[in-house]
Structure 1
Amino acid sequence: MSAATTTASRTTSQPESPGGLARLGRWSATHLRVVLLLWLAVIAVLGAFAPRVESALSGAGWQDSTSQSVQARAVIARDFSGLGATALQVVVHDNHAPIAADPAAQRIIARASDLLAADPRVSVVVAPEAGVSLSKDGATAVIQAGAKANANDMVRAADDLTKPLARLATGSITVNLTGDSALWSDFNQVNHAAMIRSEVLSWPVTMLVLVLAFGSLVAAGLPLMLTLVGLLSAAGALVLSTHIAPVSIWALNFALMFALALGIDYALFLVVRFRAALAARADQPDRRQAAVDAIGETMATAGKAIAFSGVTVLVSLSTVLLVPSPAFRSMALGIMLSVVAVLAATLTLLPAVLGRLGHRVDAGRVRLPRRLTRRPAAHPLPSTANEAVARKRGLELLLHRWGGLLSRRPWIAAGLVVIVLGVLAWPVLGLRTGMPSIAIIPADQSARAGYVQVVSAFGPGAPGELQVLTPVADQTRTNAVLTGDRGIAAAIPGSTNAGWALIQVIPTTDASAPATGATIDRLRTELPSGSLIGGAAAENHDLDTALSSRTPLVFGLLIGLGFLLLLIALGSPLIAFAGVITNLASIAAAFGVAKLIFQDGHLSGLLHFQPQGFVDAWAPLFFGAMLTGVAMDYTLFLLSAAREHYDATGDPQEAMRTALRTSGRVVVAAAGVMVAVFLTFALSGPLAPKEMGIILAVAVFLDALCIRLIILPVVLRLTGHGAWYAPAWLTRVLPNIRFSH
């Protein structure tokens, strides 16, 4: 069967009754009060919990919950007073005299011990002990506080105790709270504050881009309405979710980010199509009815694409749930909740508001210089009614010309893009990942200062101390394995309880060094059966291993499920395959750039950070899922418009150029906002937001510019009717989804 025949079988049918989304849009447009009351009720219920979100969410959860190290932590919490990975450590350092000979230092140690003992989350306080937690020169002592509460509560304990302990310091004696719980406490506080500052700084740029993209002040405010609804709903839902399982504080940051991004994407796409549909009814005498009819048409076309887009974003993020880490799962949950809220508001609240606004959606019109909107006779736009608004837009004119250039020189355009993406993606072959080192904590934070003091006093492996649990009957054999291992600096036998012997083990290398992970893996194969290795370094290593092992599975699902969803939506195997595979090109190029900057250290001076020698282990999996969702968003906007015009005209070249002119504007504007927001993160102080900001900004920029505005249009240009071909058997299997009205 030919492509044209297959297309005809898809498009030639009896006039269809309005679809479900069209009916929903028309109903919303005529029932503004009901829709508003329903959303006000939702916001009132969920918004009542939103103010508690920061205090309710947790700061820990960066672990593989199925790992041996987490199992060891549970045993230590039960049988060894919680002196494991989540225990607190207070480092007292005397700059002028040995601690044992300084009464002031002794008083500080006593006061610090009292502060720790008074906290109900502390099970036991262990005083400094010579040869174990008192340095050879006597200048540094470590007080240990066992964890009586879970990991999240111990991070909160670190939040509460850091400043009171620091106030005990004098001019010559420093007091710093460190340990894994303190590290996550400082990490969360510093990075959360930096991300909030970045988001606040990005608002002026966001508003400017929105005004330019929408062309009016009223229309530019619509994405903010969706963002507010999505954020309040997601924040309240996250608080309620904490009654089921702990939710990471980072879920809120990512929920806000996606609420803003999708609010802009969806509002821009819907408003652009609504304006065109309304312009086509300029001669309709009943302006109110014209607005309602325009909403029905918009929801039948753009609304359907947005619904599919929301589903693809949710499916992409759901793959992160495969990682057995509470932090990752709750971050994905936060984004998914914001997506659901923004999607629901886009399909109900936004049509209701647009139906009431009608032509007033253009109130507060922003006039661009005539030279940006003048239409030369050499490049006329089609004179259909739906293009009445588009003819006045400088960006549509530019994209119209761009589409013509791609039609004339497809191979040159595609070749240049492939070269650029290939050069940028090449370094990804040498990409190394690892769990974050101490470099992600600013030097002035208590946890890092204490960490550095421990390294100076006890050696590089001391902050990454391992806890080895072995059956009492195998204690002698276990000691022999530990003392004979090249990666172990010291093994300190501890107490025994409940059939277990606890041995404190200090590696020879830093906690985040690959050699420490290799030592952990080697010991697990050599220690007696039933032995467990725990500790913060082991937990980080196990999470790194889990992320590395699941990344191929996650990307495989992203490709497979993305292909299936695009196939269902667009009905073409070729274009669904091209839409999914091209996503990987921009992601690979972004991580190639990340390798050069964050692993190799290029631009570290300009960006003011200390390179770790690797990219954080969660970046490929988590950011990859996020970027796939965003890329599929843009893909559906562009290709659904091309499908719509192809079904209407049967002309693949005109469908490509029309889709590029209309939906390309949405892609450019939405990507511009997202790149601006992400770059503000790249300029923030801490390393983690820098890494996130640059990876996401580069990926979105390359995806919008290279993939959606060049590669996909070139694919449509070169394949012609074949782009939309589907075998007869597949056409019978797939649902007949049409984006035309």
Structure 2
Amino acid sequence: MLTARSAPRPADASTAGAPPGALGRLGTWATTHLRVVLVLWLILIAVLGAFAPKVTSSLAGAGWQANGSESVQVRELAQRHFGGNASSALQVVVTADRPVSDPAAQKVIAKATDLLERDPRISGVVAPQQGATISRDGKAAILLAGAGAGPNDMVRAADDLKKPLAALSGGGVTVNATGSSVMWGDFNTANHDAMMHSEMVSWPVTMVILVLAFGSLVAAGLPLLLTIAGLAASSGALVLLNHLTPTSIWAMNFAMMFALALGIDYALFLVVRFRAALARHGDPVKAVAETMDTAGKAVALSGLTVLVSLSAVMLVPAPAFRSMALGIMLAVVFVLGATLTLLPAVLGRLGKRVNAASLPIARPGGDGSSPRFTAWGERLWRHPFRYGVPALLVLVALAAPVIGLRTAMPSITVVPEGDSSRAGYVAVQKAFGDGAPGTLQILTPTADAPQTARQVAGHGGIAGVMPPVQAADGSGLTMIQAVPSADPSDPALAGTVDALRHDLPASAQVGGAAVENLDLQKTLNDKTPLVMGVVLVLGFLLLLVTLQAPLVALLGTVTNLLATAGAFGAARLIFQDGHGAGLFGFTPQGFLDGWAPVFFFAMIFAIAMDYTVFLLSTAKEHYERTGEPRAAAIGAIGHSGRVIFAAAAVMVAVFFTFALSGPLPPKEMGIVLGVAVLLDAALVRLILLPVLLRLTGRAAWHTPRWLKRILPDIHFSHG
């Protein structure tokens, strides 16, 4: 809300006659037009929700690539000019306890070929060839099913075909589909199922915490109202978005997570303020207006900071990351819309019934504050170093290991052992060598092919080279396939690829599924500092506009970064060094999955900014009313501490259920995000930041005159 600028006013200043601001008027309108609001939301949910059942089957399974990279160019050229023999093609591995030339094995190969050829997404099937796709002992053979569709459709084809192909096994012959498309299909299915299971397990814990936090069964149901509205709308919107741009299936998981998180955060903040305003005014409409002009404004700005933090992920040229960020942003928009319209309308109608079925615990003070958290704020004010220094030392100690953090794309071990892609991967390695699952595809003009082939064959990191194949369409391209000596997850492969790109003629391009992972990792490494920098700068600017004071905006930003560094330091100790691996039930890879720094950083910062805005906007409100730093710091803890504590407790419980799931990526996400929220709430928001407000005093809220002329005038005190 834009208001006339004024000096801090005394706590007893009357604001009874002041008209409500823009959000207050919106809340008043929503309260007095409940039916209109409900009808509009029901229409929106019905229209978008009609598409929601298609979300799992419609969304994309691929997109883990660096657009514009050399390996992606190779894949596109291979699909266009070499009959679909691209990295997205399917490989069907047939192994037998006898030579595959045996009639029984040949019969299985023929059935597999027929099954593949009948699928319209398969451009053609290349039979096993001696010296290339038939093992030296003759007991393993590979059918190549060309990619006749885009990468996302090939993942769907893999999902459709892997079970019928496996069903051909029998009589000493085993059939497994493998390759990049099958692996991503298995990866998505295993992790999606694990995340859905974890979310379902977390619901009972979430409900218990909500009831305790709200102190009322009726009030505890309000976050579900926002979550359901946000999820139904965003699920359908994701399906529609998928028609415009391929949208990752993972977008739905993260959208669900953020819809729940923000639904709880926003509902808690507004309900606590509404109860206090209702106790003062006795009129639900006036209570809603005051709530929206204070807490509603903080929620709106918090939602904006979340959106800005996540938008930085769009700087990474990878479809999966961009679509996941878009999915979360859609959920934020819908939950925010419901919070600013649907929730005030329902609160206005409920009135005092919002406290129905109350529990005889944790009753707030008459002004809506928590006596326990107010007492805690007073203790921090009296003894800032006693609590602030230990909190800072813990954060620094946890952040220190981040210096040695290593990242890489995940190995095949993140796919469950019984899945088709992993079984086929192991079979290919056993029959053709460690590097066979990561076969390189090198495209070169035909005129340069002899020289290129000689150089590839003579390279120390190459175990074998297949005969060059000239494109049949007259494009003038030749493909050379080379088997590296290193496993696709071995760091040595990156050295081999870099050396080939440096030594081969400039016209040669090196690609393949394993190289796509390497190129994606390089892109992530290159873009991570940029994304982090943009998030930090935009976060600071938004806090500056919101709080009107550069020092407190800087404190909020820096403390966010400290908690985030602590979470990644803990991640290094657990996932890279293996501390606690037995407890969490996984085998460490020796690195953190490559997408974690850039994507988890944006997610952590978004959640942390949520809590930061709640705490500091409340502090600013008290400072505007009293002009006293002490009232601002203690009032912030007393009025928002319970909200932050309860919301963080729900998030930590939800995230740590992911840590108990089977696949490794959800474990990483659960532990990194869970530790981040725990550190941010327990050590930063409820200790370190209030202590810094104590130590900086009035300087924290000082605004230079030149800055006052630039910034919009935003106040949080009512009236």
1:333 equivalent to 2:326? Answer yes
Q: Percent identity?
A: 59
Superposed, 1:230-309 pairs within 5 Å as: 230-282=230-282, 290-309=283-302
| C-alpha separation in 1, matches of 2:591 and 2:298 | 39
Superposed, 1:593-604 pairs within 5 Å as: 593-604=570-581
Alignment counterpart, residue 528 of structure 2, candidates 532, 546, 551: 551
Aligned to 1:647: 624
Aligned to 1:286: none
| C-alpha separation in 2, matches of 1:701 and 1:729 | 38
| Residues 475-484 or 716-725, more deviating | 475-484
Task: With the length of structure 1 as denominator, give the TM-score of the two structures.
Answer: 0.94
Aligned to 2:610: 633
Query: C-alpha deviations, 1:553-580, integer Å up to 9, x for none?
Result: 0010111100100000001100100101
Q: CA shift at 1:17, angstroms?
A: 3.7
| C-alpha separation in 2, matches of 1:22 and 1:87 | 57
Query: C-alpha deviations, 1:468-505, integer Å up to 9, x for none?
Result: 00111111221222122221111213311211110001
Q: CA shift at 1:512, angstroms?
A: 2.1
Aligned to 2:113: 113
CA contact (8 A) 1:10 1:736 kept: no
| C-alpha separation in 2, matches of 1:547 and 1:490 | 30
SS in structure 1 of the partner of residue 244 of structure 2: coil
Alignment counterpart, residue 28 of structure 1, candidates 27, 30, 33: 30
Q: CA shift at 1:9, angstroms?
A: 4.1
| Residues 327-336 or 408-417, more deviating | 408-417
1:605 equivalent to 2:579? Answer no
Aligned to 1:206: 206
Q: CA shift at 1:536, angstroms?
A: 0.4
Amino acid at match of 2:26: L
Q: CA shift at 1:412, angstroms?
A: 2.4
1:473 equivalent to 2:473? Answer no
SS in structure 1 of the partner of residue 647 of structure 2: helix
SS in structure 2 of the partner of residue 170 of structure 1: coil
Aligned to 1:388: 366
Q: CA shift at 1:726, angstroms?
A: 1.1
1:83 equivalent to 2:60? Answer no
Superposed, 1:477-626 pairs within 5 Å as: 477-497=451-471, 498-626=475-603
SS in structure 2 of the partner of residue 149 of structure 1: coil
Q: RMSD of the TM alignment (CA)?
A: 1.6
Alignment counterpart, residue 311 of structure 2, candidates 298, 318, 332: 318
Q: CA shift at 1:156, angstroms?
A: 0.2
| C-alpha separation in 1, matches of 2:278 and 2:183 | 56
CA contact (8 A) 2:116 2:125 kept: yes
Query: C-alpha deviations, 1:88-127, integer Å up to 9, x for none?
Result: 0111111x32222x32222111111111111111111111
Change (3 A) 1:11 1:507: farther
Alignment counterpart, residue 410 of structure 1, candidates 369, 372, 384: 384
Alignment counterpart, residue 37 of structure 1, candidates 39, 62, 66: 39
Aligned to 1:691: 668
CA contact (8 A) 1:291 1:358 kept: yes
| C-alpha separation in 2, matches of 1:481 and 1:602 | 44
SS in structure 1 of the partner of residue 418 of structure 2: coil
| Residues 466-475 or 476-485, more deviating | 476-485
| C-alpha separation in 1, matches of 2:171 and 2:255 | 44
| C-alpha separation in 1, matches of 2:583 and 2:423 | 24
SS in structure 1 of the partner of residue 467 of structure 2: strand
CA contact (8 A) 2:273 2:368 kept: no
| C-alpha separation in 2, matches of 1:589 and 1:731 | 35
| C-alpha separation in 2, matches of 1:30 and 1:9 | 34
SS in structure 2 of the partner of residue 611 of structure 1: coil
| C-alpha separation in 1, matches of 2:458 and 2:225 | 64
SS in structure 2 of the partner of residue 280 of structure 1: helix
1:97 equivalent to 2:98? Answer yes
SS in structure 2 of the partner of residue 493 of structure 1: coil
Query: C-alpha deviations, 1:126-184, integer Å up to 9, x for none?
Result: 11112211111122211111100000000000000011011111152221110000000
Superposed, 1:182-221 pairs within 5 Å as: 182-221=182-221
Q: CA shift at 1:390, angstroms?
A: 4.2
Q: CA shift at 1:358, angstroms?
A: 0.3
Structure 1: gaps of 5 or more residues = 1-6, 283-289, 374-385
SS in structure 1 of the partner of residue 182 of structure 2: helix
| C-alpha separation in 2, matches of 1:492 and 1:145 | 18
| C-alpha separation in 2, matches of 1:14 and 1:637 | 24
CA contact (8 A) 1:10 1:731 kept: no
SS in structure 2 of the partner of residue 242 of structure 1: helix
Structure 2: gaps of 5 or more residues = none
Amino acid at match of 1:345: A
Task: With the length of structure 2 as denominator, give the TM-score of the two structures.
Answer: 0.96
Query: C-alpha deviations, 1:230-284, integer Å up to 9, x for none?
Result: 01110111111112111111111000000000000000000000001111124xx
| Residues 616-625 or 520-529, more deviating | 520-529
Amino acid at match of 1:322: L
Amino acid at match of 1:51: P
| C-alpha separation in 2, matches of 1:116 and 1:81 | 14
Query: C-alpha deviations, 1:36-78, integer Å up to 9, x for none?
Result: 0111111111111111111111100100111111111111111
CA contact (8 A) 1:471 1:501 kept: yes
Q: CA shift at 1:448, angstroms?
A: 0.3
Aligned to 2:159: 159
SS in structure 2 of the partner of residue 719 of structure 1: helix
Alignment counterpart, residue 343 of structure 2, candidates 338, 345, 350: 350
Amino acid at match of 2:495: A
| C-alpha separation in 2, matches of 1:317 and 1:390 | 32
Aligned to 1:400: 374
CA contact (8 A) 1:465 1:537 kept: yes
Alignment counterpart, residue 661 of structure 1, candidates 624, 632, 638: 638
Amino acid at match of 1:85: S
Aligned to 1:4: none
Amino acid at match of 1:186: D
Aligned to 1:56: 58
SS in structure 1 of the partner of residue 281 of structure 2: coil
| C-alpha separation in 1, matches of 2:66 and 2:430 | 30
CA contact (8 A) 2:23 2:293 kept: yes
CA contact (8 A) 2:8 2:625 kept: no
CA contact (8 A) 1:716 1:723 kept: yes
Amino acid at match of 1:633: D
Query: C-alpha deviations, 1:639-660, integer Å up to 9, x for none?
Result: 0000000110111112211110
Change (3 A) 1:432 1:635: same
SS in structure 2 of the partner of residue 583 of structure 1: helix
Superposed, 1:117-132 pairs within 5 Å as: 117-132=117-132
Amino acid at match of 1:617: G
Aligned to 1:65: 67
| C-alpha separation in 1, matches of 2:130 and 2:187 | 31
CA contact (8 A) 2:272 2:368 kept: no
| Residues 506-515 or 141-150, more deviating | 506-515
